[in-house]
C-alpha cells in the first residue's frame, strides 16, 4: 500500500475535503483494492483475552434482553457460551497491537494526524451489529473480511431519543436513507452525528478509522484549568473606591464589569498559553504507557525507534525554530528536525544532535526523547561492550 491516499475511489482527496468531510457520507468502492485483513477472527478474539486490550462484546436479543454489553478482558469460556448469531466483538486501538495496521493509519495522513484517534476492529458473526446509533466523530469504515450490510440514516442531534434499558446508545428511531453491502477494500465515510447501522452477513471484520473531536465544553474546561495554574494566591478580585450602595445584597453592573475585565484581560493575553496548552493536550496518548522510560543512558544509542502509540505534532514559530509536542510534553527544536521526528519511524541520534548549535543541547534533547516514552533504544544499534 502507498503511504498516503491521494484518491478516494473516483474522486481526489481535495474534492473529498471540499465536498464530503464533515458534511455528508460517501461510499468508496475499492478504496484499498486487494486489501486483506491483517488479523483473523480467532486472533482478534485472542487479543480480547489480554488485560491491556480494551474490548467489548455486544449481544442482541440474548436471554430476553434486547441489547447487552459485556466488557473485557474475556476468557475462552466466554466465547464457548456465546450464541451462533447476533453478537459482535469490538477491540479498540488495534493499531497498537497489529503492526500492519500502522500502514493503514498512514493512508489517512491527508488529514491532521492529531485528529486520528485509533483503529477499532469489529468482528461480528451472522446478524451481529451494535444497533442503530451515531457517533460524535468522523469515521472511515473499512471492510476487511467478509461482508457487512450498512444502512445510513438521518442526521441526529441532542434531541434524538435513545433506547431505554440498555447502556448502549441505541436510537429509538432510525430512518434508512441509503443501504450498501461492503466487501473487502470498500470504505464508507460517515461524518459526525449521521445515524448508521451495520449488520454482518456471515462472519466479518470491519475496521473503524476514527477521528477524535474534543467537545467544546472539554476544551474550555481544560483551557481555563491550564490558565488557572499560572495564577498566584495574591491575584485577587479588587474593588477600590467603591461607593456605598442602597442595598448591600444587590449585585451591581459595576461588580460584573470588574469580573468581566479580569476574564477579558487574561483571555486577551492567552495566545501563547493556548499554543503550549493545546499542543500538550493534543499530543497526549490515549492509553498510559506501562513501559520503562529512560532517565539516563551511559552509552549514546545510534538509533531511536518511535513507539507505536507515540503522538507527535509541532507548531512553527518561524522558518527555523518550532515547538515540538510529544506525548503531552513540549520542547523547542529546529524545524527540520521536528518534521523528521513527526514523519519518521526512527531517528538517528547523532544526526539529531548536529541539528543544534550546542552539542550539549542536542544530547539533552535526545535524552528528552527517550524520557518522553515516545522513543526507545534500538538494541541492534547499541555499542558493543
Give the residue-averaged pLDDT of 330-337: 95
Whether 169 and 24 map to the same domain: the answer is yes
User: Residue 100: helix, strand or coil by DSSP?
Assistant: helix
Q: Is 221 found in the same domain as 146?
A: no
> Quick one: 200 and 252 in the same domain?
no
H helix intervals, 37-195? 41-47, 76-80, 100-107
In a shared domain, residues 16 and 163: yes
One domain for residues 247 and 319: no
Which has the minimum average pLDDT: 18-22, 40-44, 89-93, 380-384? 380-384
State the total domains in the chain.
3
User: Considering 191, 211, 231, which residue would you say is the last residue of a domain?
Assistant: 211
Together in a domain, 30 and 60: yes
Cell 503492526, located at residue? 99
Same domain (yes/no): 230, 370:
no
Q: Is 329 a residue whose pLDDT tops 80?
A: yes
Per the domain annotation, does 14 fall within a domain? yes
> Would residue 236 count as lying in a domain?
yes
**Mean pLDDT value of segment 297-303:** 70
- The verdict on residue 279 lying in a domain is no
Does any domain span residue 289? no
The percent of residues in the chain predicted with pLDDT above 70, rounded, is 93
Q: What is the mean pLDDT of the chain?
A: 90
Q: Same structural domain for residues 237 and 344?
A: no
Q: What is the per-residue pLDDT for 165?
A: 84
What residues contact 107, with CB distance under 8 A and at least 6 apart?
1, 2, 3, 4, 5, 32
The domain that holds 69 is classified in CATH as 2.60.120.650
What is the grid cell recorded at 350?
547523532
Residue 158 lies in a domain: yes
125 vs 276, residue with greater confidence: 125
Q: Is the pLDDT of residue 385 over 70?
A: no
- 223 shares a domain with 95: no
**Are 28 and 177 contained in the same domain?**
yes
Spatial CB neighbours of 79, under 8 Å, sequence gap ≥ 6: 45
Mean pLDDT to the nearest integer, 228-256: 91
Tell me: do 201 and 65 sit in the same domain.
yes
Please tell me whether residues 74 and 197 are part of one structural domain: yes
Encode pLDDT of 225-236 as tens digits.
Answer: 888 887 888 999
Residue at 20 is within a domain:
yes
Confidence of residue 1 (pLDDT cuts 50, 70, 90): very low
Digit-coded pLDDT (tens) for 199-224: 999 999 999 999 988 889 988 888 88
The range of the structural domain enclosing residue 251 comes to 217-269
Residue 16 lies in a domain: yes
Amino acid at each position: 500500500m502507498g503511504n498516503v491516499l491521494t484518491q478516494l475511489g473516483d474522486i481526489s482527496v481535495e474534492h473529498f475535503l471540499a465536498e464530503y468531510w464533515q458534511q455528508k457520507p460517501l461510499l468508496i468502492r475499492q478504496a484499498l483494492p486487494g486489501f486483506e485483513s491483517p488479523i483473523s477472527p480467532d486472533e482478534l478474539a485472542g487479543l480480547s483475552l489480554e488485560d491491556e486490550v480494551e474490548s467489548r462484546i455486544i449481544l442482541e436479543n440474548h436471554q430476553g434482553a434486547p441489547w447487552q454489553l459485556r466488557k473485557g478482558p474475556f476468557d475462552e469460556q466466554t466465547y464457548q457460551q456465546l450464541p451462533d448469531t447476533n453478537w459482535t466483538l469490538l477491540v479498540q486501538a488495534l493499531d497498537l497491537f497489529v503492526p500492519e495496521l500502522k500502514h493503514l493509519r498512514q493512508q489517512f495522513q491527508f488529514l491532521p494526524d492529531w485528529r486520528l484517534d485509533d483503529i477499532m476492529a469489529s468482528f461480528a458473526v451472522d446478524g451481529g451489529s451494535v444497533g442503530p446509533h451515531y457517533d460524535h466523530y468522523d469515521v472511515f469504515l473499512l471492510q476487511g473480511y467478509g461482508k457487512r450490510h450498512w444502512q445510513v440514516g438521518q442526521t441526529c442531534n441532542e434531541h434524538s431519543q435513545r433506547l431505554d434499558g440498555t447502556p448502549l446508545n441505541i436510537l429509538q428511531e432510525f430512518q434508512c436513507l441509503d443501504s450498501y453491502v461492503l466487501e473487502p477494500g470498500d470504505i464508507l465515510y460517515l461524518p459526525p452525528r449521521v445515524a448508521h447501522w451495520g449488520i454482518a452477513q456471515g462472519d466479518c471484520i470491519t475496521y473503524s478509522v476514527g477521528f477524535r473531536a474534543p467537545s467544546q465544553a472539554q476544551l474550555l474546561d481544560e483551557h481555563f484549568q491550564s490558565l488557572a495554574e499560572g495564577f498566584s494566591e495574591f491575584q485577587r478580585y479588587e474593588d477600590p473606591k467603591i461607593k456605598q450602595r442602597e442595598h448591600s445584597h444587590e449585585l451591581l453592573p459595576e461588580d460584573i464589569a470588574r469580573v468581566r475585565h479580569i476574564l477579558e484581560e487574561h483571555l486577551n493575553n492567552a495566545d501563547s498559553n493556548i499554543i503550549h496548552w493545546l499542543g500538550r493536550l493534543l499530543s497526549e496518548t490515549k492509553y498510559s504507557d506501562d513501559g520503562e522510560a529512560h532517565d539516563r543512558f551511559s552509552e549514546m544509542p545510534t538509533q531511536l525507534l518511535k513507539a507505536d502509540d507515540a503522538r507527535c505534532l509541532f507548531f512553527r514559530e518561524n522558518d527555523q525554530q518550532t515547538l515540538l509536542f510529544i506525548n503531552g510534553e513540549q520542547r523547542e527544536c529546529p524545524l527540520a528536525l521536528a518534521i523528521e521526528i513527526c514523519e519518521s519511524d526512527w531517528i538517528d541520534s547523532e544526526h539529531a544532535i548536529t541539528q543544534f548549535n550546542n552539542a550539549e543541547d542536542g544530547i539533552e534533547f535526545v535524552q528528552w526523547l527517550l524520557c518522553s516514552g515516545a522513543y526507545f533504544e534500538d538494541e541492534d544499534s547499541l555499542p558493543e561492550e
